[in-house]
Amino acid sequence: MAAEPVLDEKSVQDTKQSPTNSDHDIEAGESQPGELHRGLQGRHMQMIAIGGSIGAGLFVGSGGALQSGGPASLVLGFIIIGMMLLATVNALGELAVLFPVNGAFFAYSVRFIDKSWGFAMGWQYAIGWLITLPFEITAAGITISYWHEYNIGIWIAVFLITLIIVQFFGVKGYGEVEFVLGIIKIVAVIGFIIFGIIVNCGGVPTDDRGYIGFRYWNGKDGNHAFRNGFKGFCSVFVTAAFAFGGTEMVGLAAAEAADPRKSLPKATKQVFWRIAGFYVVSLLIMGIIVPNNSEDLLGSSGANTKASPFVLAIKYAGVKGLPSVFNAVITISVMSVANSCTYGSTRTMQALAAAGMGPKWLGYIDKKGRPFWPVIIQMAFGLLAFVNESADGGTVFNWLLSLTGLSSFFVWGSICLSHIRFRQGWKHAGRSLDDLPFKSPLGVYGSYFGLFLVVICLMATFYVDLFPIGGSPNAENFFMGYIAAPIALALFAFWKVYAKDWQFGVRVEDMDLDTGRRDYADLPPPEAERKQSVVRKLSTAIF
């Protein structure tokens, strides 16, 4: 049998201490040398939730989805994936507030679903971010070609060195970088929405199209609301999943949050506004003012910002200078995602090692709270970006990225299933939902709905990979799109054999509901605590 995972030693110690000492440690965010530091404040957590994953998937990849599926399919696809994420993040919030352990959803899969499945999800997630980093660095370098054709190797080196410098500052460096870059991205998206409304109403003098309305949705001149029928609609899911990838990072950051009881519920509630405002509304506006039959959209992949539908929308309106500004935003967004890559992979690898599911040396944390060797490995993987100097670099990258193609769906489905299983175990233990410091507003039914949508999206993706748009079935394209599934099953089988763990699933009576659990019993509710803080400040000011 596999060894019981030691998911978070500090959290285990907290549960053994007196309530007073434990609560003090929780609220003060204190950490011991050689442990992950609780340096993420509420503002960091909220910005990670709102703007953490806004990047090339939204700003560039959406162009290909617009061309293949049409504007209506684009918006509906993002709404469906957004609903899935809303249920997933709320379920993750409930688990992470109660168990803010390192590894988050990987640890929950081990504890509530199956150890081997947790192993598979953990390593697939870590490897996915490892491989995504060189792609994002390359993408950032490509965005520079918008202004001038430089040797991409120069910019790969510049961006990689920048990321290495950020790592010196540990979790606070990650939090501050995401906070600043997140604000820039949010301002840019809001600005684009306002700009798009003005363009659509014919308020830009340099745009001779006048009032546009839903001209590009009416089926005339080669523009259609739904392009390529059902296949076109299904093709949007992969793009949307890539664009939303990283949303779950807020749960992963719980172990390094100063006060997860306060910051996590606020952060998860922000996800709705991010989905509705920053994704759905911006894509709706973009699909209204950009013709979906434009040949410029054919190159909308990777980080080809010259084919970004957001940049094209500004170009078609004839506004000078503004396309360069938005291209700079895309460059910043890609670097933000690269920063998240580093955080996601390093924390997951360290958690796997701490749980006995990886080499022990990967679990080492230095005095500044950094998982030292995982950071080194992640930075070394960044060097793969220089493969682009080779003539076959693009082919290599496509196959590497295919390893992570469906990993987001597996992770999100595992989070929903972990929440369902946790609720079953909590009920079986005779514990009340009133004892939970934070309950998902959507409840366990939201997790069932999220899991159902994950299955539907996997089926739709399978269909499109097997029968591609405008082509016949192709074995190479199918495996490139769906290879992540057999890899997940292979990892699952490997741990079953290696650990000689022949039990499938964790029985509700055997679920560990206490290791790493934070005890908030002696603390007032966040609202009451906030009011007490106000009273204390007023008393200090008066007396």
Q: Yes or no: say if 141 and 338 are a contact pair by the CB < 8 Å rule.
A: no
Domains of the chain: 9-406+453-542 (1.20.1740.10)
CA distance 262 to 27: 10
pLDDT at residue 452, rounded to an integer: 95
- Is pLDDT above 80 for 521? no
Residue 360 CB contacts under 8 Å (≥ 6 apart), including other chains: 353
> Which amino acid is it at 256?
E
CA distance 250 to 96: 9
Q: Yes or no: say if 66 and 309 are a contact pair by the CB < 8 Å rule.
A: yes
Buried b (16+ CB within 10 A) or exposed e, 367-401: ebbbbbbbbebbbebbebbbbbeeeebeeebeebb
Q: Yes or no: say if 417 and 114 are a contact pair by the CB < 8 Å rule.
A: no
Tell me the pLDDT of the chain averaged across its residues: 79
Q: Yes or no: say if 143 and 154 are a contact pair by the CB < 8 Å rule.
A: no
Q: Yes or no: say if 316 and 297 are a contact pair by the CB < 8 Å rule.
A: no
Which is higher by pLDDT, 448 or 341? 448
Closest CA to 358 of 366, 344, 369, 348: 348
Residue-wise pLDDT tens digits, 84-121 = 988 998 998 899 888 887 777 788 999 999 999 999 99
CA distance 131 to 134: 6
- Is pLDDT above 60 for 462? yes
Mean pLDDT of all residues in 511-518? 82
Q: Yes or no: say if 465 and 478 are a contact pair by the CB < 8 Å rule.
A: yes
- What Cα–Cα distance (Å) separates residue 287 from each residue in 231, 241, 282, 307, 470? 19, 19, 9, 14, 22
Residue-wise pLDDT tens digits, 40-86 = 665 666 666 665 567 777 888 888 889 889 999 999 999 998 899 88
- Is pLDDT above 50 for 446? yes
pLDDT at residue 26, rounded to an integer: 34
- Is pLDDT above 70 for 492? yes
- Is pLDDT above 60 for 3? no
Helix spans in 99-228 (H): 105-112, 115-144, 152-167, 170-200
pTM over 0.85: no
Residue-wise pLDDT tens digits, 201-259 = 999 999 888 899 999 998 888 889 999 888 889 888 888 887 887 777 777 666 666 67
